[in-house]
Structure 1
């Protein structure tokens, strides 16, 4: 039996969040780079969709080594994106429409061009030295330990000025902050307070579960380089730091907070997003994002299996029920497009499978996150050349595997086509004109060539489009408490084609039937479990039979049926 769900209501539980990747959303001045005035020009589009919160990927000042996730000034706006006055106009435009703004908080690391690091590297006795993690090399001249970075290669960078290494879990231009230093933590809390006092409604916290490292920073095994995640993911003091952050900052404001937490288990998530509200509202977990990764990690491709998706998603639904809160997502700026990954992006099935995936996700318990273009069914891209890709991670991986490792270039490119982050970062497809209406200049990253068929203008003119289907999903969520607060139970667990589940709240029961394949799928349910006459709330096929507890789901069909028992 499902655990009795927590039904304490909160606005952030009932919200739908829309993520904007500013560089790729809308350019207003023809320089080929999306900007804040461009976002402002599209606020009515977002408001009409029905979303409640805009999550804005970083717009802070940055040298852009990692597209804004390397911040050189937390309290200034990147020149390419506009001015602080532009940002204030964006905030007002959102608030005037009853929408909220969630900023990206990147505090595991800064840019190496941040004033703190510029000072830190000057000398060993500089006042800012201990803001970062510096260590001498080993006697043989090797790095302080054998950890590798998320972006390939050693997680340490030698700095000649002081003959020491600094830790960078990401790019060498992204040195990790030393959260052991109370001055660092206070600097972060002061900066967060500054933004909240300006009117920000919350934070998405980038890799927040990496801020605590194991004391002594031990190596892993005896290999020259090794994955050290056990020593920096969900580290020994991470909950202590987040409780302190909550006490000093978050508890003083009515915020939405979500922590990006790679490697977090449901048990860890329950600590991060516990119901006493002492840390965060929810986390982004990554288990379902690894279902198509082999033993060699992200770039080691393997087909994902529906049985694994059921096991993972259902585990998170049931284990957090009544104990914490889920975030719901299938793509973002770091992940490939969901219709290409979990659906079918061919002309025959793209629209159907995009609607199917939206239904699958939005009917679960948790706060749904829509990534820009998802509501249009935007797809992955296959650029002709490595030179057409911008992402640092892609180029580092290619160099390591092909240039240095001798791997087959065609196979490596295939993994980029499937998993590369630039799949999500191609410019938003607004219309079928030049550069998809994104810019009048040369776009910083090429537009996906399919923009002439897949774009917002076409979607808004088609009453049967994915956009309007998402609009209805959001409307249903706001009109049925069971969709937000109902407990989850997996049914038809062993079905090889269908992911079926129920939601239960009071005397209501919601039945969700999803066919994940391009073949018809038969099913039969126990009639006694669904009392009363069912009412179809939504489905992605126009012609439907009366709601039935046995029948056939057509390719990529989704049905949602509400049952209400007599009092």
Structure 2
């Protein structure tokens, strides 16, 4: 099932490159770095929302789907980006949020103006409930992703409207066909979250947080009963025309289960669950969906809403560990089946800010450890002022990371043994052996040491074996020969000196073996 062997690179426009000296990244800045991305081995760039927006949620609150947020540029700038991307043989995806609009969108302004407005039903409006004493009550106990009630009272028309995100981001009513058709009309190319279909009986959510007025309600507003109809309509109108002729509703979806590891509190816990290697390995079960032609999968460790993967999944305690463990993760991701996504800076092992130095200063440790602000710091391009993100004397919209003098494109580009060079090698290898690494069938192997992640891939007469030590201490391993015999060779390794026989793997060591059947 060959769908997509592309190497995707997610760009957060505000933090990528400032071309005009106002401290905010922009579209021309992205254009100026396309050669860098092409040289890295990227063939698809994925742009986070660049549309006109009040920026309550950094562009995911869209007030005009057909215009550009002015600090980022103009429609002509976007066309230039498209042209320059295509000129390098690359593709481009635009991230489009369509579960909701901005409260400043003209559609919502009309919907909010009167109960009998033609667009009133384009959003979810409901009357209040009243208790025995005549006090106004919420429609139900749903909690938004912003940890506040998912219903906001509107004084003008005296009804509540639904927002599963911020109050400034009212949800579209996808049950209304006229609304859906209006949403389809703007330039829709890509979307992230399938929250369009909701349980419109609006039942209360199960009580999981005792003593709280609102409760997590994702099961009622994510992937509702009519989501397949809605996605089918999107594919009919848009995807078949612009993206794919294959059957089914979507080419692929993002699976965020891996991203939640070590991030969220489990039921009954007072604090978040720490990251653990067995849970990470268990997530590889999704590989079997692709291998068995059930569904296609995405591969990613970072995005604009997550902390940095080096700090989360492995070690940033020293530059050496940062590079070694970063190479280990690169080998792991580049040899798995699916479509690979990198987030800006991941290819250089950008790590988290530390403690009270992050922009979320003075907050609890758990907050800054899991904050998405880590991923949104300006990209470090060189060792000059502001790490080359913007010109000298201009304050960036968010400060640069502390390690900018050594962890930047200019410095790493000169180091053939660095993580940037290694990612280039892995992307080139993945493309060279794409039938094996992108599309090959996957099989995992259990080992005595749970810190080892071992799996094989097979395609035609080729077979590979990936083994990585995901722990900061050496681990005993039986060796590749126990699976492949002596008929194999090391294709890639991050430390060197490996063999096929039983031996000890150093901290963060990884190898990829290959053989011919």
Shorter-chain TM-score range: over 0.9
Look up the match of 2:2: 9
1:277 is displaced (CA, Å) by: 2.9
Q: Quick check: 2:300–2:333 contact (8 Å CA) kept in 1? A: yes
Q: Structure 1 CA distance, aligned partners of 2:197 and 2:455?
A: 37
- Pairwise CA distance, 1:310: 1.1
Equivalent residues of 1:532, 1:564 under 8 A apart: no
**In the alignment, what sits opposite 2:10?**
19
The CA distance in 1 between the partners of 2:41 and 2:268, in whole Å, is 37
- Match in the other structure for 1:369: 341
Per the alignment, residue 517 of structure 1 pairs with 471
Secondary structure of the residue aligned to 1:562 is strand
1:175 paired residue number: 170
8 Å CA contact 1:290–1:298 kept in 2: the answer is: no
1:400 corresponds in structure 2 to none
Q: CA deviation at 1:142?
A: 1.2
Secondary structure of the structure 1 residue equivalent to 2:129 = coil
Q: Secondary structure at the match of 1:284?
A: coil
- From the superposition, tell whether residues 554 and 458 of structure 1 become closer, same or farther in structure 2 (CA, over 3 Å): same
CA distance in 2, matches of 1:63, 1:112: 9
Q: Which residue of 2 aligns with 1:382?
A: 354
* Cα 1:297–1:436 shift into 2, 3 Å: farther
What TM-score does the superposition give when structure 2 sets the normalisation length? Answer: 0.94
Instruction: List per-residue Cα deviations over 1:108-139 (Å, max 9, x = no partner).
Output: 00100001001110000111111111111111
**How far off is 1:284 after superposition?**
1.0
State how far apart, in whole Å, the 2-side matches of 1:491 and 1:22 are. Answer: 40
1:302 aligned onto 2:284 = no
Alignment of 1:521-532 (within 5 A): 521-525=475-479, 527=481, 529-531=483-485
1:279 aligns with 2:249: yes
Deviations 1:458-499 (A, max 9, x none): 110111111111111111111112111111111135522211
Give the match for residue 146 of structure 1.
Answer: 141
RMSD between superposed Cα atoms in Å: 1.9
User: Per-residue deviation at 1:286?
Assistant: 1.7
2:196 matches 1:206: no
Distance in 2 of aligned mates of 1:458 and 1:526: 36
The Cα of 1:416 is off from its aligned counterpart by 2.3
How far off its partner does 1:417 sit? Answer: 2.2
What is the DSSP-based 3-state SS (H/G/I as helix, E as strand, rest coil) of the residue aligned with 2:66?
Answer: strand
Residue 58 of structure 1: SS of its match in structure 2? coil
Instruction: Give the superposition deviation at 1:103.
Output: 0.5
CA distance in 2, matches of 1:171, 1:236: 24
More deviation, 125-134/291-300: 291-300
Question: Could you say which residue in structure 2 is the equivalent of 1:476?
Answer: 429
Distance in structure 2 (CA, Å) of the matches to 1:235 and 1:162? 28
Q: Is the 8 A contact 2:480 2:500 kept in 1?
A: no
**Residues of 1 paired with 2:438 and 2:219: CA distance?**
34
Aligned residues of 2:26 and 2:72 also touching (Cα < 8 A): yes
Kept in 2, the 8 Å contact 1:537–1:561? The answer is: yes
Deviates more, 1:91-100 or 1:491-500: 491-500
- CA drift at 1:296: 6.0
The match for 2:332 among 317, 335, 360 is 360
User: Residue 437 of structure 2 contacts residue 457 of structure 2 at CA under 8 Å; is this kept in 1?
Assistant: yes
Q: Summarize deviations over 1:269-324 as a string: whole Å, max 9, x none.
A: xxxxxxx6321111111222222133269993332111111112x21112442211
Post-superposition CA distance 1:132-154 (Å, at most 9, x none): 11111111311111100001110
State the Cα deviation string for residues 34-56 of structure 1 (Å, max 9, x = none): 00011111111001001110000
Give the structure 1 partner of residue 220 of structure 2.
231
- Bigger shift: 299-308 or 163-172? 299-308
What secondary structure sits across from 1:121 in the alignment? helix
Map Cα deviations across residues 144-190 of structure 1 (whole Å, 9 max, x no partner).
11100001110111111100111000011000000001111111222
Q: Secondary structure at the match of 2:374?
A: helix
Aligned to 2:110: 119
1:562 match? 514
Aligned-pair distance for 1:562?
Answer: 0.5
Measure the CA separation in 1 of the matches of 2:429 and 2:179: 44
Tell me, yes or no, if structure 1 residue 218 matches structure 2 residue 209. no
**Aligned residue number for residue 485 of structure 1:** 439
Does 2:286 align with 1:316? yes
Is 1:96 matched up with 2:87?
yes
Distance across 2 between alignment mates of 1:74 and 1:296? 39
Distance 1:507 1:221, change over 3 A: closer
Query: Structure 1's 78 and 296: CA in aligned 2 closer, same or farther, altered over 3 A?
Result: farther
Q: More deviation in 519-528 or 123-132?
A: 519-528
Residue 9 of structure 1, CA deviation: 2.6
Q: 1:45-81 CA deviation, whole Å, 9 max, x = no partner?
A: 0010011100000000000000000000001011010
Kindly provide the CA deviation profile for residues 384-406 of structure 1, in whole angstroms up to 9, marking residues without a partner as x: 378x34xxxxxxxxxxxxxxxxx
Evaluate the alpha carbon distance shift between residue 9 and residue 285 of structure 1 in structure 2; reply closer, same or farther with a 3 A threshold. closer
Unaligned runs of 5+ in 1: 1-7, 196-201, 257-275, 390-408
Structure 2 gap segments, 5+ residues each: none
TM-score (norm 1): 0.85
Contact in 2 for aligned 1:482/1:505 (Cα 8 Å): yes
Structure 2 residue aligned with 1:240: 229
Summarize deviations over 1:480-536 as a string: whole Å, max 9, x none: 121111111111355222111111112221000101112111111574641562122
Q: 1:75 corresponds to which residue?
A: 66
